[in-house]
Amino acid sequence: MSVPFLDLKAAYDELAAQAEPEMLRALRSGWYILGPEVERFETAFAQYCGTSHAIGVANGLDALRIALMAVGVGAGDKVLVPSNTYIATWLAVSQCGATPVPVEPDARTHNITAEGIRAAMAPGVKAVIPVHLYGQPANMPAIMAVAREFDLKVIEDAAQAHGARWGDTRIGGHGDVACWSFYPGKNLGALGDGGGLTTNDPEIADRMRILRNYGSREKYKNEVPGLNSRLDPVQAAFLSVKLQVLDSWNARRAEVAASYQEAFADLDLILPEVATEAAPVWHLYVVRHPHRDTLAAILAEAGVQTLVHYPIPPHAQQAYASLGMTDHDLPLARQLADEVLSLPIGPHLSAAQIEQVISATRSALKTL
């Protein structure tokens, strides 16, 4: 038996009977840009996140760009970003004409901290983008306190954290804006690209609504140079259905994570660490080992597919060669990139597949 990293077909099959009539209604409605399906999803998602506004956009990268533009980040500004994030976090900053300034994460939670932000502060820094990496929420109360002290805007990259909580509060409204991706592999994934924004600030919400639609409130009247970045109504119809199962699917992920945590506790393997106040949603289950590539190869041999999130840190990408940053500047980002390994943790893993991942990992560790 083989264990795929993520089974999107199984996810679709479970929702098909409920979702297909909804998508068919959207297809037959004659309304194909924004409109009632998108508004329905926006209302439901805002309610789910406990925020007063949700805005559907085309993808997660655009969500980040629009959020930065809406809080006034532009040419010449600096924005603090994690050194170990997916490159989209950095690209959004660059595409606004600003410069990403990396912050090394906490080595155990993989998230940036208030202390890290304080240490990285520099003249010209206007905003910070904490990422709730792997579905583990960052410590938002502490980050908000340091951001207030330095008068920083806070844009959350919540692309991996649909449904996560810090304390009793869901991710979505801690910062000025939270940015979401509905890329198919995300916990709340669509059947193609999609993204969203949540906020409690009515003025920022208003700016973001205009920015996603050519900077226009009224057709052919353009207030600001905006983007064309709108959530598709058919995707919105699907997402409205998927949102209803998000909590139960996240609970299944948590069960898989709990099985792994227990089964691997005695192994010479660095396991994910969850902060006491955090309720993660286990977008990824990421372990660390100095011989990561060998471990991945042994698991593949045993039929267990793994992935690396992420093998090359943004500072070492060709796209950022011009920044001139080296591994010497960001040693933790490099070390994590060399050591992290993501095990399968989708909501459609069977008990037998979970067992196979556990036994394959346990026996692999004996030979490493």
From the CB of 186, what's the least distance to ligand PLP, in Å? 6
Name the residue nearer to ligand PLP (CB basis): 166 or 264.
Answer: 166
Shortest Å, Cβ 287 to ligand PLP: 18
Q: Look up residue 30 and give its two tokens.
A: 């004659």
Annotate 311-336 with DSSP letters as a single string. SS-GGGSGGGGGG---TTT-HHHHHH
Taking the least distance from each CB to ligand PLP, the nearer of 193 and 364 is 193
Closest approach of ligand PLP to the CB of residue 157, in Å: 5
Q: Which is nearer to ligand PLP, 176 or 364 (CB)?
A: 176
What is the number of H-type helices and E-type strands within the chain? 11, 14
Q: Least separation, in Å, of the C-beta of 193 and ligand PLP? A: 6
Cβ-closest position to ligand PLP = 60
> Which residue spans within the chain are E strands per DSSP?
53-57, 78-82, 99-103, 125-128, 153-157, 165-166, 169-170, 177-181, 195-199, 216-218, 221-222, 278-279, 285-288, 340-343
Q: Tell me if 163 sits within 8 A of 250, measured CB to CB.
A: yes
**C-alpha 79: how far from its chain's center?**
18
- State the nearest-atom distance from the C-beta of 199 to ligand PLP, in Å: 17
Q: Tell me the closest approach of the beta carbon of residue 112 to ligand PLP, in angstroms.
A: 12
3-state secondary structure of 187: coil
Separation of alpha carbons 139 and 112, rounded Å: 8
Q: How far, in Å, are 230, 234, 241, 284, 366 from residue 20 at the CA level?
A: 21, 10, 10, 28, 47
Q: Based on CB atoms, which residue is closest to ligand PLP, 132 or 207?
A: 132
Residue recorded with tokens 């844009």: 155
Identity of the residue, 127 or 131, whose beta carbon is nearer to ligand PLP in the bound complex:
131
C-alpha torsion angle, residues 329, 155, 157, 234 (rounded to 10): -150
What b/e readout covers 96-120, taking b as 16+ CB neighbours within 10 angstroms? bebbbbbbbbbeebbbbbbebbeeb
Nearer to ligand PLP, 61 or 237 (CB): 61
Nearer to ligand PLP, 184 or 303 (CB): 184
Closer residue to ligand PLP in complex, CB, 92/364: 92
**What is the closest distance, in whole angstroms, from the C-beta atom of residue 362 to ligand PLP in the complex?**
29
Report the nearest approach of ligand PLP to the CB of residue 149 (Å).
25
Beta-carbon contacts of residue 167 (< 8 Å; ≥ 6 apart): 141, 277
C-alpha 18/C-alpha 254 separation (Å) is 24
Q: How far is the CB of 126 from ligand PLP (least distance, A)?
A: 20
Binding site for ligand PLP (CB under 6 A): 59-61, 85-86, 88-89, 131, 157, 159-160, 181, 183, 193, 195
Q: 190 vs 304, which CB is nearer to ligand PLP?
A: 190
CB 36 within 8 A of CB 43: no
